[in-house]
Amino acid sequence: MTVKLYDTTLRDGTQAEDINFSVEDKVRIAQRLDELGIHYIEGGWPGSNPRDIQFFKEMKGVKLANARLVAFGSTRRAGAKAKDDANIKALLKSGTGVVTIFGKTWDLHVKEALKISPEENLDIIYDSLKFLKDRVEEVFYDAEHFFDGYKANPEYALKTLKTAHDAGAECLVLCDTNGGTLPDELVEIIRDVKHHVNAPLGIHAHNDSEAAVANSILAVKEGAVQVHGTINGFGERCGNANLCSIIPNLKLKLGINCISSEQLRKLRETSRFVYELANLPHNKHQAYVGDSAFAHKAGVHVSAVLKRPETYEHIRPDLVGNHQRVLVSDLSGKSNIIYKAQEFGIDIKSKDPIVQGIVRTLKALEYKGFQYEGAEASFELLMQKAMRARKKYFKLLGFRVIDEKKKESEPPYAEATIKLEVDGRVEHTASEGNGPVNALDNALRKALEKFYPHLKDVELLDFKVRVLTAGKGTAASVRVLVESGDGKEKWGTVGVSENVIEASWQALVDSLEYKLYKDEKENATQGKRKS
């Protein structure tokens, strides 16, 4: 059985409270989803906001290895033709080969929300899908509120599906939009749908009854060939079906090879990456990928699990990129260090004392609040330092940051002065900015560009701050996550301190030093090839 994974983190996920992805965030997440092996990535609704329009423009320059990008929108408006509808035009303008549109399935919405006749709604569904089908490679139909619509008027709900299928929709996605359908109801309804509609079915479940994952799995067992969900279950209200649970359930429990085993091992890092870019704390109790998913405390459990892990673990944690933890004496971490070293092209062996040193350093830093998901560049530099291979490109002699506000009606004025040394030469300079961090960043670059001109290529793409210690108010520790790029590559760096300027300084220094280290390594590699 073939099941396609359809991720809607970049659209449904962004509707969650407290989540607001930038265009750069969305591009990075799309690339990670592609690496994970997701088949379809719903990028957003290009007809609804400028950010999604810009995202689709940016993605035209991004090559995806596994996934197909999907534009999402609604059926045409009442009283118009599909060819004249602004939303339909925006979907085509996005340039994706796949389009998903939703339409009304519940007659309550047809009568009360659209205020049109049931027959006109069927015409809207058919016209919209037929128009798109003639112009793009694949068209999917989201039957919005399908399960509620079926319960209220099964005959009409089924008519909407038949209409969508007749118009050429490749997959009819049954949506539990309000998230209130229980698993036994869902199974009954899908079985009846299959008696009346001979078309590929998909499932799009929301989690308002805490049944979204169960409903998605049962839908697959009833024959659904496309499963919608979001990373970490992000979504409006109580969230969407969580792909971080659905994917391993499909592959490991049902034997459905929706992604490869190698891709499955990236599940935890993908989950944590999305949490970091969402600027949210990781849910440590999350199934499969959470810190506590394979954690054991002292006593009978620990005694048993150290002898035979399966006594208290339903799968091997490494299958999803996680690891076993024994609380009090944590035994994990070494294998992760070796894996990352190989990824960075660093040659160290598991018995090398350096590995244990990195593990100890990593644990100490994570205790302080450092997290390296989304900050891979800082982690690579950390490994280089442990191996005594990290080059010191400059020495800080001091900096000062002034943030001054003179009038209530005027914005603050920020200036940074910095003094540093490179190969015995001292540079003392200053720069302004629209805030203290921006001023410090400008001053640091200004000083270093005289010695390293190629740092002019580095651009600060994103800057995030998160409070780590609750209850301390403005004295709390903060974590700063910076994303930088040079036109060829993007990288993340991190800093932690009770002083936001210091945390920002750590992340900014790592960003520039990583650029210098990366270029040096690249030049060395090219030199070896020439010789």
- CATH class of the domain defined by 333-393+452-531: alpha beta
Q: Helix/strand/coil (H, E, C) string of 375-392?
A: CHHHHHHHHHHHCCCCCC
CATH topology of domain 294-332: H-NS DNA Binding Protein (4.10.430)
Residue whose C-alpha is closest to residue 153's, from 109, 107, 120, 217: 107
Q: Give Cα separations from 185 to 179, 181, 211 (angstroms).
A: 12, 6, 11
Tokens of 238: 């109580």
Q: Residues of 161-200 as b/e, b for ≥16 C-beta within 10 angstroms?
A: bbbbbebbbbbbbbbbbebebeeebbeebbeebeeebebb
Q: Which residues in the chain are classed under CATH 3.20.20.70? A: 4-277
Tokens of 398: 């001091």
- Alpha-carbon distance of 519 to 303, in angstroms, equals 49
Task: Give per-residue pLDDT as tens, 345-398.
Answer: 667 766 677 777 887 787 788 788 888 877 889 988 988 888 877 889 999 999
Ranges of H-type helices in 41-81:
50-59
Task: Give per-residue pLDDT as tens, 283-311.
Answer: 989 999 998 898 876 456 666 766 788 88
Tokens of 313: 């673990």
Q: Which residues in the chain are classed under CATH 4.10.430.20? A: 294-332
* Strand ranges of the sheet holding 395-404, from the earlier edge strand across to the other edge: 395-404, 413-422, 425-433
Residue listed under structure tokens 């030199």: 527
Q: Which residues in the chain are classed under CATH 3.30.160.340? A: 333-393+452-531
pLDDT reported for residue 329: 29
- Alpha-carbon distance of 71 to 125, in angstroms, equals 17
Task: Give per-residue pLDDT as tens, 175-215.
Answer: 999 999 999 999 999 999 999 999 999 999 999 999 999 99
CATH topology of domain 4-277: TIM Barrel (3.20.20)
Residues in the chain: 531
- Alpha-carbon distance of 227 to 6, in angstroms, equals 6
* Strand ranges of the sheet holding 490-497, from the earlier edge strand across to the other edge: 459-467, 478-485, 490-497
- Alpha-carbon distance of 209 to 212, in angstroms, equals 7
CB distance 231 to 33 below 8 Å = yes
pLDDT reported for residue 330: 35
Residue whose C-alpha is closest to residue 230's, from 5, 501, 520, 465: 5
Q: Helix/strand/coil (H, E, C) string of 101-159?
A: EEEECCHHHHHHHHCCCHHHHHHHHHHHHHHHHCCCCEEEEEEECHHHHHHHCHHHHHH
DSSP string of 250-303, one letter each residue: IIIIS---SS-HHHHTTHHHHHHHHHHHTT----TT-TTTSTTTTEE-TTHHHH
pLDDT reported for residue 332: 37
CA 117, 121, 124, 127 torsion: positive or negative? negative
- 426, amino acid identity: V
- Alpha-carbon distance of 505 to 411, in angstroms, equals 23
Residue whose C-alpha is closest to residue 98's, from 127, 59, 126: 59
Residue listed under structure tokens 């005027």: 410
- Alpha-carbon distance of 239 to 15, in angstroms, equals 9
How many other CB atoms sit within 10 Å of the CB of residue 115? Answer: 8
Tokens of 192: 């009846």
Q: Residues of 414-425 as b/e, b for ≥16 C-beta within 10 angstroms?
A: bbbbbbbebeee
The reply to whether the predicted model has a pTM over 0.75 is no
- Alpha-carbon distance of 171 to 164, in angstroms, equals 9
- The segments of the chain whose pLDDT lies below 50 read 298, 328-333
